[in-house]
Structure formats: structure tokens, C-alpha cells
Structure 1
Amino acid sequence: MISYIKGKVTYIQDDSVIVDVQGVGYEILCANPFVFQSALNNETLIFTYHHVREDAQLLYGFKNQEQKSLFTKLLQVSGIGPKGALAILGSVNVNDFVAAVEREDDKFLTSFPGVGKKTARQVILDLKGKLTTMLGISDQLTDDKSEQGVHTEGMAEAKEALRSLGYSEKEIKTVIPQLQKESLSNTDEIIRKALALLMKK
């Protein structure tokens, strides 16, 4: 099993990065490859999950161990495969997702692509109470869980609005990391900030 890869990021593509390790280029699928923009042409460490199936061997990459751990847990839920788990990670930070599972927020969970009510309930059934311990997340996350839920729901709505304005998925992905760092309270604020960032590109 390949736990991580350390090398120079040579290319960033819509859904993956290419990392050169002593002359060998590894393609690593990522939820948002553009989080590695600052590592372009520089050496970096990417946590990886090595997924083996009959017709392919794929590497999935993550910025930190928490994202990788959540990814592996999601794969254990019936109805969620690697593609679906990656889509979830691309739309939410780990703490927000854990908080949603702990409060059994079906509405929040069904906002992710490919997650219906049945799968959302399965996520809650399989993962509630397990993620906080595994990821070492403080119980304090439940104190501000409502605010986290609103923030992430607003992010999803803002992404949809940007698509309707004609921005491509690639363009939107380039500004998501910066948006997630901001303390924005509603969809309108997120959209305004996103547009400001996109106009600088």
C-alpha cells in the first residue's frame, strides 16, 4: 500500500496532479488539485490511498491525514465509492462533515452529488460516533455545528450560482481553497468573494 508520495508537483490537471519522484511521474487523483498550486515545481508530500481493482490501480491524494482518514471511512459505507467520497471531500472540510454526521443532518448530507436519503442514513448509521475519535476532533465541534452547516450549505449554493454564471468547474476549483479560509456567513457573501477572486485570475 502506498501511504504517501513525496516529490515535485510538475502538472496540475482538472482532477489530478502529476508528481515526479526520481524521474517517475505519478498521477494522483484529488478532490481539488488546485490546493497544491503553491507546490507547483516544488517538492511536496501528498498523502495517498492506493485503490486496486481488476482493471486499474489508482492513487487518490489528500492534503492531510484527516482527509485521507475520512476518505477511507467513507469507502466503508454501502453506496459510496472512491469517486463519490472524493466529491464529498471536494465540497466540505472534515470538521463540517463530522459535525453533520453527529447531528444526523440528512439535508446536509444529501446536498452532495450522488448522496440520496438512503445513502445519507447509511453514512449516519455507519459513521456516527466513530469519526470524532478516529480523527482526533474535539467534542467542541458540536458547539458551533449549526454555523458550520450553514457555511457549507452556502458554499454549495455559491458553487451552483457560479456555474450558472458560466464559470467552469476548473475555474471554480481554483478559488475554493481561499473561500474556505474566509469567515463568510451566507451565500451572497461567498459569491461576491468568489467573483472578486475569479476576476483577478
Structure 2
Amino acid sequence: MYEYIKGRMDFVGPEYIVVDNGGIGYQIYTPNPFSFSHLMGSDVQIYTFHYVREDLIALYGFQSREEKALFMRLLSVTGIGPKGALAILASGEPQQVVNAIENEDEAFLVKFPGVGKKTARQMILDLKGKLQDIVPDYFPNLFTPEIEDQSNELDEAILALKALGYSDKEIKKVTPALKMENLTTDQYIKKALQKLLR
């Protein structure tokens, strides 16, 4: 229904962003909301997918058409809902996901929150050989957040990981390694997910 929304970045939270367009604030769920933190108050263009179900109407947003396309492909898999698809995209490593599907690597896929063996097998059956058009120019480097205070950035990253479904126990395992680095929130999240998915 909506291809994209242009407007001013009004809010960034652990699960969604709010884009103000003509005085209307659009609540948009994204794979990694904190990657938009540095755009607060700026004009943005977010590619959107309008999801409608009996008990849920929501807008999901992405930095590129490719990211949106992969989200839609993931939604087509039985057993994967919007939250699960966002968690997979939030890893920031789409090539790894595609490789796992192409190589039938169930062990890698089940590391994502909400993806069990049955769902991993279904992903492979439904998507193998159908994602090549998405991968080449995937995740263009459109955003380069500036490094801010480490404690705030790390706290935001931890909130985002919890929103993606990771437990406190899982997060505590990777936190010590993260504290040794000075990164942006987006970089902390990607680094944590890489460690959690090993």
C-alpha cells in the first residue's frame, strides 16, 4: 500500500521509529531502529511494508528496497512472522543468511530467535535459489553514525537485543567483549549478533 514515507525523524526506540509527515507521526517497526539515531530531526525516506492481519495492522520500514524485498520473502515462509523476519534482518549479515539457505545450513539458521529446526527447513525449501536478485547490492552504506558516549550506545544496543527476543542470559555472555570496544549503537548490535549467531 505504501512504497515509502518521506518525513522528519521524530523518535527512535528499541523496536520502532516515528517519522513525522505532514503532522502525522508514522510508527514504523524496523530491523535495527538505533541505526537511525543519528538522523533525529533530519528528513528521511523509509521504504515501507504495510502488514495487515486480523489482530495486527503495522508498518515495517527499511533502508533500501532490497532489504524490504528480503523481509517480504521471509514473511512468505510458513512459521516466520514479522518479528522473526526483523530479527533475521537485524543481524546485518544478509549474505550469511542467504549462504545458509543456499547451503542448507540449518545449524546457522536456528540461531535466530524464534527459528527452530522445522522453520529453518521450511526457509530452505521455500527460498533456496530465489534470493540471488536481492544479495548483490544489499544494504547500501547509506548511514554512517557518529560515535557518541559509549555507555549510552551500549545501553541502547542491549535494549535492541532484548526487543529482538534475546534473553538477559544470552546478552550477558557477549556484553564483556562489547565493553572493550568504543562503537556506535548500530555497530554494537551487529557485533553482538555476530557473536550470538556463532
List gaps (5 residues or longer) in structure 1: 139-158, 168-173, 188-201
Pairing partner for 1:164 from 152, 163, 172 = 172
CA contact (8 A) 1:27 1:59 kept: yes
The question of 1:177 aligning with 2:177 is answered: no
Task: Select the structure that is richer in helix.
Answer: 1
Structure 1: distance between partners of 2:190 and 2:122: 30
- Number of residue pairs matched? 160
Q: Using CA pairs under 8 Å that are at least 6 residues apart, name the structure with larger relative contact order, 1 or 2.
A: 2
1:90 corresponding residue in structure 2? 90
Query: Using a 3 Å threshold, how does the CA distance of structure 1 residues 160 and 96 change in structure 2: closer, same or farther?
Result: farther
2:155 corresponding residue in structure 1? none
1:86-116 CA deviation, whole Å, 9 max, x = no partner? 1111124222211111111111100001111
Structure 2: distance between partners of 1:129 and 1:176: 33
Over the aligned positions, Cα root-mean-square deviation in angstroms equals: 3.0
TM-score, structure 1 normalization: 0.70
TM superposition shift of 1:166: 9.7
1:137 corresponding residue in structure 2? 136
After superposition, where does 1:57-76 map in structure 2 within 5 Å?
Answer: 57-76=57-76
CA contact (8 A) 2:75 2:81 kept: yes
The percent identity for this pair of structures is 46
TM-score, structure 2 normalization: 0.71
AA partner of residue 55 (structure 2): D
Query: Using a 3 Å threshold, how does the CA distance of structure 1 residues 107 and 59 change in structure 2: closer, same or farther?
Result: same
State the SS of the aligned residue for 1:41. coil
After superposition, where does 1:1-201 map in structure 2 within 5 Å?
Answer: 1-133=1-133, 135=134, 137=136, 163-164=171-172, 175=184, 177-179=186-188, 187=195
AA partner of residue 12 (structure 1): V
